[in-house]
Chain A
């Protein structure tokens, strides 16, 4: 028995190495000098510690501008997706109306349609609106999210009808019931979803690749491409520095709400 348990430990340790090794090395290489990157690439400790890769990146490209671009898009999309998801999920659980089941399926089934099928028409529409290379062009196609409606509906359903009824008897308006009574119950899910949306948009590659070609409008994932030299001879220090900078916001967001994310996955994830 004892041997078997440590067998699982060994397996997990290998998984841990494979998961963490690249991450740790990216961060440590960020703070290494060029000659150490070549001579001691297995040594995780930067000796001496240097900011030169970071400062190189900040000077070589308008990195701050890219950060702001990504931040604006991620915050806007997250806000829109949360608000539209909360309203729709609330309606689906609170009201009884004609076509409720059908409309719910329409919203949720949108998750099954991959971006490859919609990108060409959406690109044409965005370019007709003259929204290429704009925040509007990046944000517009993702104002709503079927996944958000689905997961929030699961959470809203845990609210007992009696809670609504007593609020109604007390004379509260529907709008107040939603924000004062129902919203506090679903707040942890909203927080976890918000972080998930933010991270997803921050990391998004495909749609920005199509809509953005103006150098000033790049988002962070597209900016990473600027550091790949297709002829070879990449400068690894700056490249890892840009990777570290790109990863900071999602990593920070993750560590702040780590527990909620993991546990909300565990409670809302598919069961059985």
Chain B
């Protein structure tokens, strides 16, 4: 009896974590693939098997390509605000007086603990055309005001800013961790050998030595950013004006829960998932090649 328990015990300890993941993550993934081959409105008892028709319809639809284009916009935006900017800030923290750096660490991380819903209502207010602070500051600078949420061009900027504000701190801390893991002696010896400018240090020492973290944050910025911007889009613009702020994640939600086209929604979800997965696999391969796994 005791012996048998010893055999089973490792699995018994894992089961409470494994079982929910199988039931609520892996099994639904398989089901999503199945549903993507159906024409179904989620309630009808007789879904119709249509093969790849959903994928064909999706690739032929204007909405899909508009979403792809917008998703590309978001990806570029988040690379600036959630990859380049937090990297510069993290690098800056390592260059300033250490008394200040402790303060910056907590202060820049703080908005990360707030919800995207709070970020959304905050930016709804900051970007309000009449009493919003942003337009007020623009007018002080002599610039014309912007109808942030109803302008087809600027609305994408508005929702991206809200998501960026919330997510900046996380990437900042992860990048700072990468920077602090670089052995101090290396930067010191570089300095002794005459590498004095910040930019030189960054290019020759910092970027090559933390490339693993950089790749990780590069991919996270895109994947997490595109998923997170769903909240300001859903709360503030509903995908509009005229589909201007929609993206792949929002499209899945619209197809599934507003138009009740379960098959099409699942096909969109699978396509989006594969695109994300491709990014993550490329990241893993690059990181693996650099042997950054501790094993």
CA distance A15 to B91 in the complex (A): 13
Asked if A118 contacts B105 (CB within 8 A), the reply is no
Tell me the minimal C-beta distance from B278 to chain A in angstroms. 11
Give the CA-CA distance A142 to B21 in the complex, in Å.
Answer: 8
Pick from B60-68, B70-78, B211-219 the stretch touching chain A: B211-219
Tally of contact residues, B, Cβ under 8 A: 101
Q: Is A23 a contact partner of B111 (Cβ separation < 8 A)? A: yes
A51 an interface residue at 8 Å Cβ cutoff?
Answer: no
On whether A272 and B110 interact (CB within 8 A), knowing A42-B133, A144-B16, A206-B230, the answer reads: no
Docked complex Cα distance between A254 and B115 (Å): 13
Bound complex: CA A102 to CA B133 (Å) = 53
Q: In the bound complex, do residue B257 and residue A107 qualify as a contact, i.e. CB atoms below 8 Å apart? A: no
Asked whether B173 is an interface residue with its Cβ less than 8 Å from the other chain, the reply is: yes
From the candidates B25, B107, B128, B256, name the one contacting A113 in the complex (CB within 8 A).
Answer: B25
**Bound state CA distance, A18 and B134, in angstroms?**
11
Q: Is the CB of A234 within 8 A of B124?
A: yes
One digit per residue, 1 when the CB lies within 8 angstroms of any chain A CB and 0 when it does not, for chain B 10-28 equals 1101101111110011111
Q: Which of A52-60, A61-69, A183-191, A239-247 contacts B (4 or more CB under 8 A)?
A: A239-247
Complex formed: what's the CA distance from A18 to B120 in Å?
15
Please measure, in the bound complex, the distance between the C-alpha atom of A224 and the C-alpha atom of B92, giving whole angstroms. Answer: 36
A119 CB within 8 Å of chain B: yes
Question: In the complex, which of the residues B16, B118, B294 contacts A84, with contact meaning CB atoms closer than 8 Å?
Answer: B16
Residues of B within 8 A of A87 (CB): 13-14, 16-17
B29 and A118 contacting across the interface, CB-CB below 8 Å? yes
B95 in contact with A8 (CB, 8 Å): yes
The verdict on B210 contacting chain A, using a C-beta distance below 8 Å, is: yes
**A5 touching B95, Cβ below 8 Å:** yes
Fill in one digit per residue for B181-219: 1 if any A CB lies within 8 Å of its CB, else 0.
100000000000000111000000000011111001000
Is B146 an interface position by the 8 A CB rule? no
Report whether B173 and A239 are in contact in the complex, using a CB–CB cutoff of 8 Å: no
Contacts of A253 in B (CB 8 A): 113
Contact call A106/B18, Cβ cutoff below 8 A: yes
Which residues of A have CB within 8 Å of B209?
A: 272
Contact present for A224 and B10 (CB under 8 Å): no
Beyond A41-B133, A221-B117, A246-B115, whether A107 also contacts B173 by CB under 8 A is no
How many Å lie between the Cα of A254 and that of B111 in the bound state?
10
Tell me the residues in window 213-272 of chain A with beta carbons closer than 8 Å to chain B beta carbons: 220-222, 224-225, 227-228, 234, 236, 239-240, 242-243, 246-247, 250-251, 253-254, 258, 261-262, 265-267, 269-272
Question: Cβ of B114 and Cβ of A247 under 8 Å apart?
Answer: yes
Q: Identify 20 new A-B residue pairs, CB closer than 8 A, beyond the known A203-B118, A224-B115, A254-B109.
A: A4-B198, A11-B92, A19-B108, A22-B111, A23-B110, A23-B111, A37-B131, A42-B133, A42-B136, A87-B16, A95-B9, A114-B276, A120-B269, A143-B24, A144-B19, A205-B115, A206-B230, A224-B121, A225-B117, A266-B180
30 contacts between A and B (CB under 8 A): A8-B198, A12-B96, A15-B89, A19-B169, A22-B111, A22-B119, A22-B123, A23-B110, A23-B111, A26-B125, A91-B9, A103-B14, A114-B227, A116-B227, A117-B32, A118-B28, A120-B28, A120-B269, A174-B9, A203-B116, A203-B117, A224-B115, A225-B235, A247-B118, A254-B113, A262-B106, A270-B212, A271-B178, A272-B181, A272-B290
Which 5 pairs, one residue from A and one from B, show the smallest C-beta to C-beta distance?
A: A272-B212, A203-B115, A91-B13, A121-B28, A221-B117
- Contact surface of B with A, Cβ cutoff 8 Å: 9-11, 13-14, 16-21, 24-29, 31-32, 35, 42, 85, 88-89, 91-93, 95-96, 100, 104-111, 113-126, 128, 131, 133, 136, 165, 168-169, 173-174, 176-178, 180-181, 196-198, 209-213, 216, 223, 227, 230-231, 234-236, 249, 252-253, 256-257, 262, 265-266, 269-270, 272-273, 276-277, 280, 287, 290, 292, 294
